[in-house]
Amino acid sequence: MHKPIPPFIYSKANQIFMILFVPLFALAFIIIYRPSFFESIGDNLKVHIDIARDTLTWLAAFIMALSGMAIGALSRVIMGAYTKRHKLTYIGYIIWILGEIGVMAMLFTLFSLFTNTNESIPELLRASFVKTVLVAFIPYTVSYIYFILQDKMRELKFLRQQIEKDETVLQKAYIQILDEKGEMRLSIRRENLVLIESADNYVCVYYINGDKAKKTMIRNTLSRVAEHLVGTRIVRCHRSYMINLDHAKVLHRDKEGVFIELGMEGMPDVPISRTYADNVREWLTDRG
């Protein structure tokens, strides 16, 4: 109970919501259910004002609702100034709310005195306090439930955004190799993937695991795999090969053509065909 209440409870937006919602809800409650307290006020006012009792009852309820709104607004302004320098605890907040209700009850007691009520001031104050608590209990409770739900929704939204962000980072960090049915068969960090070689209806994926070069076979065509890897550093350099250009060490030409050396044991030299030479040329330009 001595722990500070969450700041969202007394945020500016929620304070404005409380100032408007609580008295309006109370007014609607009074008009719909017409408690005997307000019926008697209407009867007493009719002695002085020649207007229908129902109209006087509604007028009394409206004036009290506006008074409650004014008290709530003043209280929330003071609370806003107080919480800028001090932390409000749960028990402090409960006392503050009871204080608001107490001030409203005193105002309603004063209002009742002008209606020629025969009850004593202590009796009127006690009755006003009880009735104010009963009328305000529902809107106060609904407001706090709404504030908590709203805060949880914000937390959930932030969590979803964080998960989406993490998934995006994860997707950028890892390469997924799919089979011919579109199911993921290999997920590997981008920098660990070295080479993909076509083998009829299969692809042979070369990658680094720890400090060793390994390979695995996946049933799919190189063309389909290439479609999935568009926009990555793994590019087509030959009709039978895709290469992670970040692993290319040496580019050399001999009588059989142009080749990329990977400088890794167990990794073949990769030929570059004229059809895909532009992909490698762009890599050379970027590195230059």
pLDDT per position as a tens digit, 61-96: 677 777 777 887 888 888 888 888 888 888 888 888
Containing structural domain, residue 87: 7-151
- Which residue, among 284, 203, 200, has the nearest Cα to 245 in the 3D structure? 284
C-alpha–C-alpha distance, residues 60 and 66, integer Å? 10
Asked if 175 and 188 count as a contact pair (C-beta separation under 8 A), the reply is yes
Same structural domain, 45 and 119: yes
109 part of a folded domain:
yes
The backbone torsions φ and ψ at residue 150, rounded to the nearest 5 degrees and listed phi first, read -60, -45
Q: Binning pLDDT at 50, 70 and 90, where does residue 46 land?
A: very low
160 part of a folded domain:
no
Same structural domain, 12 and 58: yes
pLDDT of 34 over the 70 cut: no
Mean pLDDT of the chain: 79
- Which residue, among 255, 266, 182, 167, has the nearest Cα to 219 in the 3D structure? 182
Asked if 100 and 69 count as a contact pair (C-beta separation under 8 A), the reply is no
Cα–Cα distances in angstroms (integers) from residue 231 to residues 132, 196, 228, in the given order: 67, 16, 9
Inter-residue long-range contacts of 256-265, CB under 8 Å, 24+ positions, other chains counted: 262/194, 262/195, 264/194, 264/208, 264/213, 265/213
Query: Looking at residues 123-135, what average pLDDT do you find?
Result: 75
> What is the total count of domains within the chain?
2
Neighbours of 64 (CB within 10 A): 23
Share of the chain above pLDDT 90, in %: 8
* pTM, 2 dp: 0.49
C-alpha–C-alpha distance, residues 275 and 238, integer Å? 7
Same structural domain, 128 and 33: yes
Give the pLDDT confidence score for residue 47 in this predicted structure.
45
Strand partners, 278: none
pLDDT of 15 over the 70 cut: yes
Same structural domain, 103 and 220: no
Q: What is the dihedral of CA 83, 86, 91, 94, to 10 degrees?
A: -20
Same structural domain, 80 and 121: yes
Same structural domain, 15 and 146: yes
170 part of a folded domain:
no
Same structural domain, 111 and 28: yes
167 part of a folded domain:
no
Same structural domain, 18 and 122: yes
Query: Looking at residues 124-153, what average pLDDT do you find?
Result: 81
pLDDT of 42 over the 50 cut: no
106 part of a folded domain:
yes
2 part of a folded domain:
no
Same structural domain, 76 and 129: yes
How many alpha carbons fall within 13 Å on the CB side of residue 37?
Answer: 23
Same structural domain, 144 and 206: no
Of the two residues 12 and 216, the one the predictor is more confident about is 216
21 part of a folded domain:
yes
CATH of the domain at 226: 2.40.50.1020
pLDDT of 203 over the 90 cut: yes
Give the pLDDT confidence score for residue 211 in this predicted structure.
78
158 part of a folded domain:
no
Same structural domain, 267 and 224: yes
Same structural domain, 147 and 185: no
Asked if 59 and 17 count as a contact pair (C-beta separation under 8 A), the reply is no
